[in-house]
């Protein structure tokens, strides 16, 4: 298999974390792609021109990071990453929160790259507020997610480390001490060290 990715993409990082946690990394060739350059291989693999994209051994493609993660978990059963029963919906809900916060953070980063006179203050405020509310919820729930690595842990790790990397002012140690402490510990995992920005 091949994985089209960018080393600074939080979406690709979540997929790469899953690959490491499932011990599938040796089965995947990583290929760096720069989506804004519209490389032919990426456009052929994903009409949305987004990464990550997983090229399966039969040349079929899987794109969208949650879907890629589900596919990888179907290859190697991982009940610890996605438990059954009521806990499954807690994990998936946490993953959705982390992914949504990542969407807001990525949009804000892209908006900040535009010329100042072209930036939308309304959208910047909306994305910033969405991030802050998400951090508040994560802050309140981190003590209840347990120690065994699950899919929501990996989503939180990718999302929080992206904030630390790109928007450190929004990840305030004073306002979100649990997030800081959790990320500091989680970042020591081999999968996080192997995929750091």
Helix/strand/coil (H/E/C) assignment for every residue in the chain: CEEEECCCCHHHHHHHHHHHHCCCHHHCEEEECCHHHCCHHHHHHCCCCCCCEEECCCCCEEECHHHHHHHHHHHCCCCCCCCCCHHHHHHHHHHHHHHHHHHHHHHHHHHHCCCHHHCCHHHHHHHHHHHHHHHHHHHHHHHHCCCCCCHHHHHHHHHHHHHHHHCHHHCCCCCCHHHHHHHHHHCCCHHHHHCCC
79 pLDDT above the threshold of 70: no
Domain shared by 61 and 106, yes or no: no
Q: Which range of residues forms the domain containing residue 31? A: 2-75
CA 159 to chain centre: 5
User: Between 151-166 and 121-141, two packed helices, what is the crossing angle to 10 degrees?
Assistant: 140
Domain limit, last residue, from 16, 51, 75: 75
pLDDT score at 141: 92
78 pLDDT above the threshold of 80: no
Specify the number of domains making up the chain.
2
pTM: 0.95
20 pLDDT above the threshold of 70: yes
Digit-coded pLDDT (tens) for 117-155: 999 999 999 999 999 999 999 999 998 898 899 999 999
CATH number at residue 28: 3.40.30.10
Instruction: Give 3's strand partners.
Output: 30, 54
**Residue 195: inside a domain, yes or no?**
no
Domain shared by 23 and 107, yes or no: no
> Mean pLDDT over residues 159-170, rounded?
97
pLDDT score at 192: 98
**In the chain, what percentage of residues exceed pLDDT 70?**
99
pLDDT score at 143: 87
Domain shared by 141 and 95, yes or no: yes
> Mean pLDDT over residues 22-50, rounded?
96
The confidence band for 80, taking pLDDT boundaries of 50, 70 and 90, is confident
76 pLDDT above the threshold of 90: no
Domain shared by 54 and 91, yes or no: no
22 pLDDT above the threshold of 90: yes
CATH number at residue 95: 1.20.1050.10
């Amino acid at each position: 298999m091949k994985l089209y990715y960018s080393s600074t993409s939080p979406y690709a990082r979540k997929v790469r974390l899953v690959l490491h946690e499932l011990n599938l990394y040796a089965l995947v060739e990583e290929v760096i792609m720069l989506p804004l350059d519209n490389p032919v291989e990426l456009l052929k693999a994903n009409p949305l021109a987004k990464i990550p994209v997983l090229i399966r051994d039969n040349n079929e493609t899987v794109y969208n990071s949650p879907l890629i993660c589900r596919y990888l978990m179907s290859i190697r059963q991982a009940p610890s990453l996605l438990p059954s029963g009521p806990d499954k919906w807690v994990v998936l809900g946490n993953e959705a929160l982390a992914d949504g916060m990542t969407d807001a953070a990525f949009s804000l980063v892209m908006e900040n790259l535009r010329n100042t006179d072209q930036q939308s203050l309304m959208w910047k405020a909306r994305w910033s507020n969405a991030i802050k509310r998400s951090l508040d919820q994560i802050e309140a729930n981190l003590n209840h997610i347990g120690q065994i690595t699950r899919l929501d842990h990996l989503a939180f790790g990718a999302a929080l480390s992206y904030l630390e990397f790109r928007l450190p002012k929004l990840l305030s140690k004073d306002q979100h001490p649990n997030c800081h402490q959790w990320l500091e510990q989680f970042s020591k995992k081999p999968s996080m060290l192997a995929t750091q920005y």
